[in-house]
Amino acid sequence: LDKNEHRSTNFRQMNPLHQVPTLDDNGFFLTDSHAIISYLATNSNLMSNDRRLQARINQLLFFDFELFKIFCEIGVSFSIEK
């Protein structure tokens, strides 16, 4: 980012929004960190076969980080169980 490589023509061909992270899996370009994590984890030993556990993983991936920061500021604690 410091060198503005993400704004180069080559990078924009992978991601017109010129954002990182951007995955290049042998010409398959994928953007958005959560989509990339999900793609890499699918069919690997990183992802559970348990449907409910998968749902919890997705819950954490899709959790709104801005909301998390607000929770921290007001001191809300919570736990996530299977």
Ligand X SMILES: N[C@@H](CCC(=O)N[C@@H](CS)C(=O)NCC(=O)O)C(=O)O
Count Cβ neighbours within 10 Å for each residue of 10-30 and write b for 16 or more, e otherwise: ebeebbeebeeebbeeeeeeb
Asked if 20 is part of the footprint of ligand X (rule: CB under 6 A), the reply reads yes
List Cα–Cα distances, 23 to 28, 30, 73, in angstroms: 8, 5, 33
Asked if 32 is part of the footprint of ligand X (rule: CB under 6 A), the reply reads yes
List Cα–Cα distances, 1 to 5, 11, 23, 64, 70, in angstroms: 6, 11, 15, 24, 28
Out of 5, 8, 12, 21, the only residue in the binding site for ligand X (CB under 6 A) is 21
16 versus 75: smaller Cβ distance to ligand X: 16
Q: What's the min distance (Å) between Cβ of 77 and ligand X?
A: 25
Asked if 8 is part of the footprint of ligand X (rule: CB under 6 A), the reply reads no
6 versus 56: smaller Cβ distance to ligand X: 6
- List residues near ligand X by CB under 6 A: 1, 6, 18-21, 32-33
